[in-house]
């Protein structure tokens, strides 16, 4: 028999919500934050225009949209009824997809997978129901085929860093320092540094810069915010420092990167 490598553990810690929502009225507007953890929607009917942390998005039937850790969303229903599946789950060992992969149109093929997960979720609580929900959600993640690279199985130190990172993502507009993180989590600088290296192989401030510049690229590509507004939104007080770091990370200054997308 072929010698296949063993697969790792499931990245899913818990499933918090699986629901089918309907907003019947065109013109319905909303402002909200997405739920903590990972949140995936599949639009079944209707059309929506929204902004997610400044990135413009148009959601039509068959569109999948992936949110991560309390993203600010505001929008308007253009064509009703707006019907969509929503799946919220905790998977600290699963990095969110790149911003370019957060929106996937033309995925009506996933409706049956979402429906199977929804059906399993609505059955009576039991071990069999838990297994079925995990299996259907893993089917969904496999079908999405996004570059959401699995993180190593979390050690206690890595779990500490994922908590720190989740908090930092919610306050990414602040110029956070290692001292700020230590004060928030009542841990020493050495403890947080070891936790971050254990989780992602980087020192804490390099990891936060990586997160800032990843978010910034999504805003450069998919929003109408000017560069000063983007710099402030990702925690830079000086736009020239933002532009310098952006170029180092992405190979082009932000204005040139935006021009290349238009």
Decide: pTM greater than 0.85.
no
Same-domain status, 124 and 163: no
Same-domain status, 33 and 123: yes
CA distance 95 to 104: 17
Same-domain status, 166 and 110: no
Q: Give the closest residue to 101 by CA, choosing from 218, 259, 15.
A: 218
144, 172, 189 - which closes a domain = 144
**What element of type H or E holds 229?**
helix 227-233
Whether residue 76 is contained in a domain is answered as: yes
Same-domain status, 133 and 37: yes
Q: Give the closest residue to 193 by CA, choosing from 203, 208, 182, 178.
A: 203
Whether residue 6 is contained in a domain is answered as: no
Kind of pairing between the strands at 55-59 and 38-52: antiparallel
95, 111, 144 - which closes a domain = 144
CATH of residue 96's domain is 2.60.120.280
Residues 41, 84 contacting (CB under 8 angstroms): yes
pLDDT given at position 70: 65
Same-domain status, 124 and 243: no
pLDDT given at position 221: 76
Same-domain status, 129 and 160: no
pLDDT given at position 144: 87
Four-point Cα dihedral 187, 193, 195, 197, nearest 10: 170
Q: Give the closest residue to 155 by CA, choosing from 207, 188, 194.
A: 194
Domain range holding 210? 156-261
The mean pLDDT values, 10 residues at a time, for the chain of 262 residues are 60 88 84 77 95 83 88 86 92 77 91 96 92 95 70 72 85 91 96 89 90 83 85 92 92 89 63
Same-domain status, 115 and 138: yes
CATH of residue 211's domain is 1.10.10.60
Residues 6+ apart with CB under 8 A from 237: 175, 231
CA distance 141 to 132: 14
Q: How far is CA 177 from the centre of its chain?
A: 23
Same-domain status, 101 and 175: no
Same-domain status, 82 and 118: yes
Same-domain status, 81 and 102: yes
Same-domain status, 131 and 162: no
Whether residue 8 is contained in a domain is answered as: no
Whether residue 181 is contained in a domain is answered as: yes
Please state the domain count of the chain: 2
pLDDT given at position 214: 81
**CA distances to 135, 164, 167, 240, 244 from 176, in Å:** 39, 12, 11, 18, 19
pLDDT given at position 35: 67
Whether residue 204 is contained in a domain is answered as: yes
Whether residue 71 is contained in a domain is answered as: yes
Query: Is cis: bond before 81, omega within 30 of 0?
Result: yes
Whether residue 235 is contained in a domain is answered as: yes
Residues 6+ apart with CB under 8 A from 120: 18, 129, 132, 133, 136
pLDDT given at position 8: 64
121, 144, 167 - which closes a domain = 144
3-state secondary structure of 138: helix
pLDDT given at position 61: 97
């Amino acid at each position: 028999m072929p010698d296949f490598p063993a697969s790792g553990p499931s990245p899913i810690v818990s499933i918090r919500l699986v629901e089918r929502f309907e907003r019947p009225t065109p013109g319905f507007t909303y402002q909200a934050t997405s739920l903590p953890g990972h949140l995936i929607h599949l639009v079944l009917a209707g059309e929506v225009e929204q902004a997610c942390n400044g990135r413009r998005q148009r959601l039509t039937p068959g569109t999948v949209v992936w949110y991560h850790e309390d993203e600010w969303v505001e929008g308007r229903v253009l064509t009703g009824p707006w019907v969509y599946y929503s799946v919220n789950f905790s998977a600290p060992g699963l990095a969110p997809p790149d911003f370019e992969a957060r929106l996937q149109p033309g995925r009506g093929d996933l409706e049956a997978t979402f429906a199977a997960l929804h059906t399993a979720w609505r059955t009576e609580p039991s071990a069999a129901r838990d297994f079925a929900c995990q299996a259907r959600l893993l089917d969904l993640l496999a079908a999405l085929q996004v570059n959401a690279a699995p993180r190593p199985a979390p050690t206690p130190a890595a779990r500490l860093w994922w908590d720190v990172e989740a908090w930092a993502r919610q306050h990414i507009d602040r110029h956070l320092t290692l001292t700020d993180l230590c004060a928030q989590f009542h841990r020493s600088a050495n403890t947080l540094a070891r936790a971050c290296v254990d989780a992602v192989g980087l020192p804490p401030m390099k990891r936060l810069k990586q997160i800032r510049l990843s978010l910034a690229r999504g805003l450069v590509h998919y929003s109408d915010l000017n560069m000063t507004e983007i710099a402030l939104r990702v925690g830079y007080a000086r736009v020239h420092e933002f532009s310098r770091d952006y170029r180092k990370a992405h190979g082009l200054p932000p204005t040139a990167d935006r021009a290349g997308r238009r």
